[in-house]
């Protein structure tokens, strides 16, 4: 049975692929699982029908038969568990790849997300510059550690995994609003490797098509 995911009817990022349905689309493309997308408006996300799927009224969600999931990380993990290709079979390597999934979402994403939020919501506040400097400092600490660990490897721990998939989507969020990655050539190259993957390109094109269609309509 084809899974159905939800995505923004009109993404505020205007098709840049920064919303979190992108990581789910990419995971599904990596494992070759066809899927359908149900587009939802901001109003629909807060209605009871969507709240039964997602308690916080957000996207993405994932439905397949009786199963309904929310949280992009949990969805990517489920996809990786169900199909070959995103998690190694060796138990130790698998645990390390899962560790990178958590690291992407729990350690690297929060200051990057807070920075993008501050740029939207706090720009006119008197503390804005100070807040941005503080967030930049927090982000750089994470990038320093990540860059040192990646070194000149292609991926974080052996073959491309769900950990890399999530980490690249997180770094793409930073790349969209800052030139900080330019100071970390190995991380910039890492992100470019992710973007060059055929599965990423298909996922990106599909979400862009939603924005293009909505703009034309």
CA 211 to chain centre: 18
CA 1 to chain centre: 24
Residues in the chain: 217
Distance separating alpha carbons of residues 33 and 146, to the nearest angstrom: 30
Residue 142 near residue 107, CB atoms below 8 Å: yes
Q: By C-beta, is 57 or 158 nearer to ligand GTB?
A: 57
- Note whether 108 binds ligand GTB by CB under 6 A: no
Considering just the CA atoms, what is the radius of gyration of the chain in Å?
A: 17
Residue 165 near residue 27, CB atoms below 8 Å: yes
Residue 210 Cα distances to 15, 36, 70, 71, 178, angstroms: 8, 12, 21, 21, 25
Find the DSSP H helices in 42-108.
42-45, 48-53, 72-82, 91-102
The answer to whether the peptide bond before residue 60 is cis (omega within 30 degrees of 0) is yes
Binding mask 132-171 for ligand GTB (x = CB under 6 A): ----------------------------------------
Q: How far is the CB of 180 from ligand GTB (least distance, A)?
A: 17
- Note whether 175 binds ligand GTB by CB under 6 A: no
Q: How far is the CB of 57 from ligand GTB (least distance, A)?
A: 6
- Note whether 121 binds ligand GTB by CB under 6 A: no
Looking at 2, 12, 125, 185, which residue binds ligand GTB (CB under 6 A)? 12
Q: How far is the CB of 124 from ligand GTB (least distance, A)?
A: 19
- Note whether 101 binds ligand GTB by CB under 6 A: no
Q: How far is the CB of 152 from ligand GTB (least distance, A)?
A: 30
Looking at 3, 15, 19, 98, which residue binds ligand GTB (CB under 6 A)? 19
Binding mask 36-75 for ligand GTB (x = CB under 6 A): ------x--x-----------xxxx----------xxx--
Give me the residues that bind ligand GTB (CB under 6 A), please. 11-13, 18-20, 42, 45, 57-60, 71-73
């Amino acid at each position: 049975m084809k899974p159905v995911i939800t995505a923004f009817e009109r993404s505020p990022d205007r098709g840049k692929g920064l919303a979190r349905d992108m990581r789910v689309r990419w995971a599904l493309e990596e494992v070759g699982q066809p899927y359908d997308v149900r587009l939802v408006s901001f109003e629909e996300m807060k209605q009871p029908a969507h709240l039964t799927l997602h308690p916080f009224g957000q996207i993405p969600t994932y439905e397949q038969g009786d199963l309904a999931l929310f949280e992009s990380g949990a969805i990517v993990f489920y996809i990786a568990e169900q199909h070959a290709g995103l998690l190694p079979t060796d138990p130790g390597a698998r645990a390390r790849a899962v560790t990178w999934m958590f690291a992407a979402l729990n350690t690297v994403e929060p200051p990057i997300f807070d920075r993008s939020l501050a740029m939207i919501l706090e720009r006119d506040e008197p503390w804005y510059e100070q807040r941005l400097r503080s967030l930049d400092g927090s982000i750089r600490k994470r990038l320093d550690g990540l860059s040192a660990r990646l070194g000149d490897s292609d991926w974080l721990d052996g073959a491309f995994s769900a950990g890399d998939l999530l980490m690249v989507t997180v770094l793409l969020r930073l790349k969209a609003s800052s030139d900080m990655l330019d100071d970390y050539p190995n991380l910039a190259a890492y992100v470019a490797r992710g973007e060059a993957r055929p599965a990423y390109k298909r996922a990106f094109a599909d979400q862009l098509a939603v924005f293009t269609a909505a703009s034309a309509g």
